[in-house]
Structure formats: C-alpha cells, structure tokens
Amino acid sequence: MEGPPPLIYRPPPGALRVVHLDADAVVVEKPAGLLSVPGKGEGMADCAEARVAAAFPGALTVHRLDLATSGLMIFARNARAQRILSGQFEKRIVQKRYEAEVWGAPEADAGRIEAPLRADWPNRPKQVIAADGRMAVTEWEVMERRGRTTLLSLRPLTGRSHQIRVHLAAGLGLPILGDPLYAAGEALAASPRLELYAVFLAWRRPEDGAWAEARLQAGQG
C-alpha cells in the first residue's frame, strides 16, 4: 500500500495570538500548518514551541496539536509549572473541547467512541483502529446539521495521536472536511484545510489549584 506523500513544510508567518497569560502558563492560538514542536530534518525548526519561547523566554511545551489542527495550546513558563501541567494532562484533569465539521451526518445527536488506536506502520504517520492498540475514548455531540455536513463538538478523554480524526473517519464513517490523511473524494475537496479546531482548555493553576480556562469564540481557530 502506498503511503502518504512526503511533508512539504511551509509554516504560516506571523506572531501567535496570546489567549491567556499568567505567571505559570501562556496559552496561544496555533494556526493550521505550524508544527507544535521542531520536526526532524532541515527547515523544520519553526514551530509553536520556538515562537512562544522567543516571546516568553523559558516557556516549555506541555502538550501538542497535530500539524493540520489549529487552536489552543498551553505552554508552561517554568519547569515546576511544566511538571504540574503535564501531570494534569496525564491524569486527564485538563478539560479539552474541539469542534470539527464532518462529511455526512450521524443518526444520533450524541455518542461516545471507544476504540483502540495504533500506528499504521506502512503508512505512518497515519493511525488505525486495532485490537492491539491503546484504548482511546472520544465523546461527541451534534452542534449543527448543515445538510451534507455536520458541525460536531468533541471531548477527547484520552490523548492518542490523530484520535479525533481516526475515530470520526473510521469509527463513525464521518471524515473531517479537508483531512489529507483520512478523508477522500468530496470530503477531502470540501475544504482547503483540516476543519478541526481546539476551542477550549481548562486546567488547575499550578500556583493555587484554582481552575483557569481559555476558549476561542465561534468562528475562530
């Protein structure tokens, strides 16, 4: 089976918009087409991590978004905060919500996908649903039915690579518009980019344990 085409990296220019800032964390809006962390190979150093560290010296990565996904990323501003925030992601304390426009429409208005994922080794970086994979759980809810497409709200309860994309395409048969890896035909052609947005994050502040949050307004991301 032929694998995906090689990546041609052309990161979008411009400073990242800061959505939240305090003594321990900075949340920015990562655009689609920008790596979260440096890639392997020449010309792959430009990324959200590097841009945030340039603006906020000492900033450290806590989690990642797919290259094609846009939306909220949180960075720690010191090592202690990175340790605490990373632990919150590992323990599923952090609350995350995404929005995606998919091709087709589910019969129900909400549901839950529980399907293990692993790398599709001959076709990396693609992932597949497989019995020998790591369990992944995604909750979804219809926000708007748009005829041939549907806008979904999504809560990934685990953080597997490409989890939402694979669960929707292979689990529900509803590929995300413009997905270069998991959509084809009309679904792929329906958008020039992946229509997946990280729109909400909530976490406990390392300083005092109080809840903090960041969100994007409708239409942003």
pLDDT tens for the chain, residues 1 to 221: 455 556 689 999 989 999 999 999 999 999 999 999 999 888 899 999 999 999 999 999 999 999 999 999 999 999 999 999 999 999 999 999 999 999 999 999 999 999 999 999 999 899 999 999 999 999 999 999 999 999 999 999 999 999 999 999 999 999 999 999 999 999 999 999 999 999 999 999 999 999 999 999 755 55
In the annotation, is 120 catalytic? no
Catalytic-role residue among 22, 24, 46, 66:
66
CATH superfamily ID and name for 98-196 = Pseudouridine synthase (3.30.2350.10)
Secondary structure (H, E, C), 27-69:
EEEECCCCCCCCCCCCCCCCCHHHHHHHHCCCCEECCCCCCCC
Q: How far apart are CA 164 and CA 43, in angstroms?
A: 28
| 157 closest CA partner among 105, 101, 216, 90 | 90
3-class secondary structure, 79: helix
Q: How far apart are CA 119 and CA 17, in angstroms?
A: 32
3-class secondary structure, 214: strand
Which residues face 18 on adjacent strands? 28
In which residue ranges of the chain is CATH 3.30.2350.10 found?
17-94+202-215, 98-196
| 82 closest CA partner among 124, 28, 25, 5 | 25
| 174 closest CA partner among 198, 68, 166 | 166
| Residue 51 vs residues 48, 61, 119, 128, 187: alpha-carbon distances, Å | 5, 11, 29, 32, 32
Instruction: Copy the structure tokens of residue 166.
Output: 């694979």
3-class secondary structure, 122: helix
Q: What is the CATH number of domain 17-94+202-215?
A: 3.30.2350.10
Q: How far apart are CA 151 and CA 187, in angstroms?
A: 14
